[in-house]
Amino acid sequence: MVYLDHAATTEVRPEVVADVAAELGALGNPSSLHAHGRGARRTVEEARERVADALGSTPHEVVFTGGGTESDNIAIKGLYWARNAEDPRRRRILVSAVEHHAALDPARWMADHQGARFETLPVDELGRVSPRTLREALAAAPETVALVSVMWANNEVGTVQPVAELAAVAAEYGVPFHTDAVQAVGVEPVDFAASGVSALTVSGHKLGGPVGAGALLVARGLGPVPVLHGGGQERDIRSGTLSPPLLRGLATAVGLAVGEREEHAKHLADLRDALEEGVRDAVSDVVVNGDRDRRLPGISHLSFPGCEGDALLMLLDARGISCSTGSACSAGVAQPSHVLLAMGADADTALSSLRLSLGRTSTPEDVAALVAAIGPAVERARAARAKRRTPR
Sketch the domain layout of the chain as residue ranges. Answer: 59-232, 261-389
Q: How many residues does the chain have?
A: 392
Residue range 6-44, pLDDT digits in tens: 999 999 999 999 999 999 999 999 999 999 999 999 999
Indicate which residue of 21, 141, 318, 329 is catalytic.
329
* Nearest partner of 260 among 204, 187, 208, judged by Cα: 187
Candidate CATH numbers 3.40.640.10, 3.40.50.1000, 2.60.120.10, 3.40.50.300; the one for domain 59-232: 3.40.640.10
Question: Residue 246: its pLDDT value, please?
Answer: 98
**Distance from C-alpha of 161 to C-alpha of 5, rounded to nearest angstrom:** 22
The CATH homologous superfamily of the domain defined by 261-389: Aspartate Aminotransferase, domain 1 (3.90.1150.10)
Is 323 one of the annotated active-site residues of the chain? no
Between the alpha carbon of residue 105 and those of residues 6, 74, 227, 235, the distances in Å are 23, 12, 15, 25
* Nearest partner of 28 among 284, 187, 244, judged by Cα: 244
When pLDDT is cut at 50, 70 and 90, the band that residue 319 belongs to is very high
For the chain, the average pLDDT equals 95
User: Distance from CA of residue 231 to its chain's centroid?
Assistant: 28
* Nearest partner of 382 among 355, 352, 354, 341, judged by Cα: 352
User: Distance from CA of residue 334 to its chain's centroid?
Assistant: 22
* Nearest partner of 78 among 235, 183, 244, 213, judged by Cα: 235
* Amino acid identity for residue 372 in this structure: A
pTM: 0.94
Residue range 335-385, pLDDT digits in tens: 889 999 999 999 998 999 999 999 999 999 999 999 999 999 999 999 887
Instruction: Evaluate whether 59-232 and 261-389 have a shared fold.
Output: no
| Residue 330 predicted with pLDDT over 50 | no
| Residue 386 predicted with pLDDT over 80 | no
Residue range 136-187, pLDDT digits in tens: 999 989 999 999 999 999 999 999 999 999 999 999 999 999 999 999 999 9
Between 225 and 333, the more confident residue is 225
